[in-house]
A and B are shown apart, each in its own frame.
Chain A
Amino acid sequence: MSELSPIELEVANLIIDSLALEDITAADIVPGDALFNDGLGLDSIDALELAMAISQKYGFQLKSDDANNAQIFSSLRNLAKHIESNKT
């Protein structure tokens, strides 16, 4: 069982709900592990789906030209951090 902060737990559940990852629970996501490719195996369709869910829930838009984009999506921990500092 991995230790998730409240915001990480919230984002983990958002990922699971918006991507219909029914076979895993928030506790299965290791906050430092990769979300895409080898980690949860997410791909670009998922990134779009996730962007929609984030804009609806947190009121800001993800964009590709963010210099830290690769880092933002690299793990649950980084995504949660990015959301926390950008949400409106």
Chain B
Amino acid sequence: MSDDISMNTLPILFNTAADKPIFFYDEEIITHKRFIHDVITVAAKLEQHQYAINLCADRYLFALGFVAGILQQQINLLPASQANLEINALEQDYPDSYRIDDNFIKKALNNKTTQDRIFPEAINAKQTVAILFTSGSSGKPKANPKNWDMLVDSAQRVARQLNLNSPAQHIMVATVPSQHMYGFETTIIFPLVTGVCIHNSKPFFPEDIRHTLDVINKPVILITTPIHLRACTQTNIDWPVIDFVVSATAPLSKNLAQSSETQLDTALQEIYGCSETGVIATRYTTKSSEWQLLSGYLLTEKVTGTCLVTPLTKDEILLPDQIEITDEKHFRLLGRQSDIIKIAGKRGSLNDLKIKLCALEGVDDAIFFMPQENPDEKARLTAFVVADDLSAKEINSFLSQQVDAAFLPRPLIKVKKLPYNETGKLPRKNLLNLYKQLRSHLKNSA
């Protein structure tokens, strides 16, 4: 495969061997030939709109909706969460859109069209194929448009760096949704570009993961997150053979990486990236705390923070993390910018949450903060709220209409006043002290 993708067109499917498996659709094996057939069938049934909001949970059906959309010049919108409010807002922002989900694609597949259309050998490399939305509580989700060449280029570099020597030999199982950048790149773009075979499921509980691996009955690559790894390592399960594990969405501690490798008897690599850029770097967590940049990528220090330059982006992209560049190819992550938090792969702004909460009538003052400092502890937001006439339940039910469930404070503690210091600021130290006091009080009275 060539590094040079400055040419004007690119294939959608890079591996053209007709009988090569590309997806597992439950227990059925989908070859390239069958995939192309199904894409053409689905394309005939897509509605005529500029955008399709792809809500498919099944990865195979998602991929069909996505690639059929490419054929129809239709851009997939991938919302950060499936919360109804978020999808409604998306529909308002993109009036020429409609929703596609598992049922829609299944129905389209039942339709016996004549296969008079020829699957294109290549498409315009600059075609915008998807827009991913950066999640969060930080106001309006930010749109991150993806051109086909960006996705292809990144997938090729990532496959090389993960040492997927012959990707087409591998099967992947993932616990992350296809709508999230990490899941989208690994489970939708990877099979198209590198030929790796993807299982359509999204196993959730450790037992689900084991069951999926048993059904496949061949060594797989497990694409997952620190939360799932913690659950997998604390559950007494006999794991089938796992080639290796890839983790992303939040940095793993060395301890959890080590116990994952030991208990799952495998090797673990981590990916670092974000919706704006996709994957940026990888590391073997048990061997190094430094991240290795993808080949051809460059980091530069700016007054505003660390910026990334990739071969296909003209502008520098400001990264949302504090980064220490150690040499041309390596860096350390120092942590998120302090206002920005990340829970369950979703990024939010503490300040924005506060603004949302203070908009509720009866709330006089409020602050959100994250008491946990150890990355292995379950990250949970705490909120202190000053609201004499509202119950915690009322406040929470208002918030649950406004923000993703991951950002709901646990606990939400009502206080008489917030622990301001003499200069009118709320230092973290004061918040932690109050938190510890109230926690022990709550424990004693429980």
Contact = CB atoms under 8 A, between A and B. Distances in A.
Interface of A: 19-23, 25, 37-38, 41, 43-45, 47-49, 51-52, 55-56, 61-65
B443 A65 contact: no
Residue among B205, B235, B446 facing the most chain A CB atoms (10 A cut-off): B205
Interface string B410-422: 1111000000000
Contact of B205 (A23, A25, A38, A51): A51
Given A55-B235, A62-B205, A64-B203, A25 B410 contact: no
12 contacts: A21-B410, A21-B411, A25-B446, A47-B204, A48-B227, A48-B231, A61-B205, A61-B206, A61-B235, A62-B207, A63-B208, A64-B205
Contacts of A52: 206, 230-231, 234-235
Interface in B192-220: 203-208, 211
B392 A23 contact: yes
A38 B408 CA distance: 12
A35 to B, nearest CB: 12
B378 interface: yes
A41 B230 CA distance: 22
Interface residues of B, number: 34
Interface in B330-348: 343-344
A64 B204 contact: yes
A43 to B, nearest CB: 4
B50 interface: no
A63 B120 CA distance: 41
Given A62-B207, A64-B203, A23 B412 contact: yes
Nearest to B379: A45
Contacts of B259: none
Nearest to B231: A48
Interface of B: 203-208, 211, 227-228, 230-231, 234-237, 343-344, 378, 380, 392, 396-397, 400, 405-406, 408, 410-413, 439, 442-443, 446
A19 B396 CA distance: 17
A63 B207 contact: yes
Given A37-B400, A38-B400, A41-B400, A20 B205 contact: no
B442 A22 contact: yes
A63 B205 contact: yes
A37 B406 CA distance: 11
Given A23-B442, A56-B234, A62-B207, 14 more contacts: A20-B380, A22-B411, A22-B443, A38-B397, A43-B344, A44-B344, A44-B405, A45-B378, A48-B204, A48-B205, A49-B231, A51-B207, A52-B206, A55-B206
A84 B236 CA distance: 19
A49 B442 contact: no
Contacts of A22: 411, 439, 442-443, 446
Contacts of A49: 231, 378
Contacts of B406: 43, 45
Given A49-B378, A63-B211, A64-B203, A23 B231 contact: no
Nearest to A63: B207
B208 A37 contact: no
- Ranked 3 nearest A-B pairs via Cβ: A61-B207, A43-B405, A23-B411
A65 B231 contact: no
Contact of A65 (B206, B211, B412): B211
B237 A61 contact: yes
A23 to B, nearest CB: 4
